[in-house]
Each structure stands twice: as C-alpha cells, then as structure tokens.
C-alpha cells in the first residue's frame, strides 16, 4: 500500500527531518480520518500517534483545516500516477485517448479503492465533509473535482472526434454522469465491502457506457 515515503535512509539535515515528519503526519492523518472522520481529527492526536510531540503538527500545519487540505491534495495529486501504473499492469495493449482511456480510468479508479480502502475512505470523507460540516475544505476539493470532470470531458471530446461517441451527446453532462457513478459505487463499497464486486461494477459501467454512447 503506497504511503508518503521517507527520503533516503536516515535523515541528516533539517530539511530531511522536516520531510520525514510531514510524511509521517500525513500518513497518520489519513489513517485517523478513515477511522474517525475529518471533523473529529485532532492535531494533538496526529502528533502523538506519529511519534512526535503533540505540538509538532501545529508547528508545520498551523490549523487542522490546513492539514486536511494537505492530506486531500496528497491523495488526489498521486491518483493519476497510481491509476496509470495500475492500468499498465492490468490492461493489455496500448491505451489510446478516447473511450479506451475512459474505460481504463474507470477500472483503475474502482480497483484502487480495493487496493487501498483506507486512503479511499479518507478522500471520500474529506470530499463529503467539504459540502457539509467543513466548507473551508472546498478550496481544495472544488478545484480537484473540476480537474476530474475536465479529464473525462476532454476524453469524451476526443472520442467524439474519433467517431466512438455520438456527437449529439454533451461531453460535460456525460463526464458528470461518469464521475457521479464512480463516486456512488465507491460509497456503496465503503459502506459494505462484502456487498459488491468492484471489478464487476467496472465491467458493467464500461459496457453500459459503450452501448449507450455509440453513434446512431
């Protein structure tokens, strides 16, 4: 399970010590958010459970909100790399722009939830609490969400240009449908991991998408 990595072997400089401390605290925060929620996260607990003083998170992050923003940015910022690596390992052949890339992203998105449910739970907790109990998180969540929508929208436009998708379909609307379906599927899985097979969900979504968007 991928985590923030400590640089080098034994840190020697202040910069290295800082990097190790921040990595450990982000790692701890992900675990605590997944377990208890974002609103209940405590900087004191993050420091102590990371093996540091209770005051160190306050020194580096200043506020709980800033730590949560760092955590969300860390998780989302590494998704593209992790998804690409998963797709290369599990999907044979070259993944071309358009429907093939959409299909691969759908499969990777759902597969990574199974690979690292703790990180996925933390991300979805922060996402949900950004438009409920902690609106200050929207400054990070909203732009990240916009980038996800834009990725799918651009791939849909490529698919339309290649004749893979009906030109009458609104790329923005279809992107919202795909993202909403993925997040709903992840929520269902996190609620009841034994109640559904994410690989089968990916197969179903890809099949429905290809059948529903093909040119008339």
SS3 of 121, please?
A: helix
Residue 98 lies in a domain: yes
Question: H or E element: which one contains 1?
Answer: none
Residue 21 lies in a domain: no
Q: How many angstroms separate the Cα of 4 from the Cα of each of 43, 70, 119, 214? A: 18, 12, 12, 41
pLDDT at site 85: 94
Residue 12 lies in a domain: no
pLDDT at site 9: 57
Q: Give the chain's residues under pLDDT 50.
A: 1-3, 6-8
Residue 105, judged by CB atoms within 10 A of its CB (0-12, 13-18, 19+), counts as: buried
pLDDT at site 80: 85
Residue 25 lies in a domain: no
Residue 133 contacts by C-beta under 8 Å, 6 or more apart in sequence? Answer: 38, 39
Please report, for the domain that includes residue 136, its CATH number. Answer: 1.10.357.10
Tokens of residue 116, six digits:
């690292």
Cα separation, 96 vs 102, whole angstroms:
9
Residue 135 lies in a domain: yes
- How many domains does the chain contain in total? 1
Residue-range definition of the domain harbouring residue 79: 75-213
Contact yes or no for 7/20 (Cβ under 8 A)? yes
pLDDT at site 75: 94
Residue 37 lies in a domain: no
Residue 3 contacts by C-beta under 8 Å, 6 or more apart in sequence? Answer: 23, 27
Residue 208 lies in a domain: yes
Q: What is the pLDDT of residues 69-108, one digit of tens each?
A: 999 999 999 888 999 999 999 999 999 999 999 999 999 9
Residue 73 contacts by C-beta under 8 Å, 6 or more apart in sequence? Answer: 140, 144
Please give the model's pTM, rounded to 2 decimal places.
0.89
Residue 181 lies in a domain: yes
């Amino acid at each position: 399970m991928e985590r923030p990595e400590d640089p080098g072997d034994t840190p020697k400089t202040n910069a290295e010590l800082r990097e190790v401390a921040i990595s450990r605290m982000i790692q701890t925060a992900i675990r605590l958010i997944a377990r208890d929620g974002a609103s209940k996260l405590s900087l004191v607990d993050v420091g102590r459970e990371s093996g540091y003083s209770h005051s160190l998170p306050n020194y580096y992050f200043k506020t709980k909100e800033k730590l949560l923003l760092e955590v969300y940015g860390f998780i989302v910022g590494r998704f593209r790399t992790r998804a690409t690596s998963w797709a290369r390992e599990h999907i044979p052949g070259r993944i071309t722009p358009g429907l093939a890339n959409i299909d691969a992203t759908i499969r990777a998105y759902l597969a990574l939830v199974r690979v690292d449910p703790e990180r996925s739970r933390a991300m979805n907790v922060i996402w949900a609490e950004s438009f409920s109990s902690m609106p200050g998180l929207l400054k990070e969540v909203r732009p990240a969400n916009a980038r996800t929508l834009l990725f799918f929208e651009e791939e849909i436009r490529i698919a339309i240009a290649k004749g893979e998708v009906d030109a009458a379909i609104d790329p923005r609307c279809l992107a919202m449908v795909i993202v909403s379906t993925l997040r709903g599927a992840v929520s269902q899985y996190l609620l009841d991991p034994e109640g559904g097979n994410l690989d089968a969900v990916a197969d179903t979504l890809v099949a429905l998408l290809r059948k529903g968007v093909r040119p008339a």
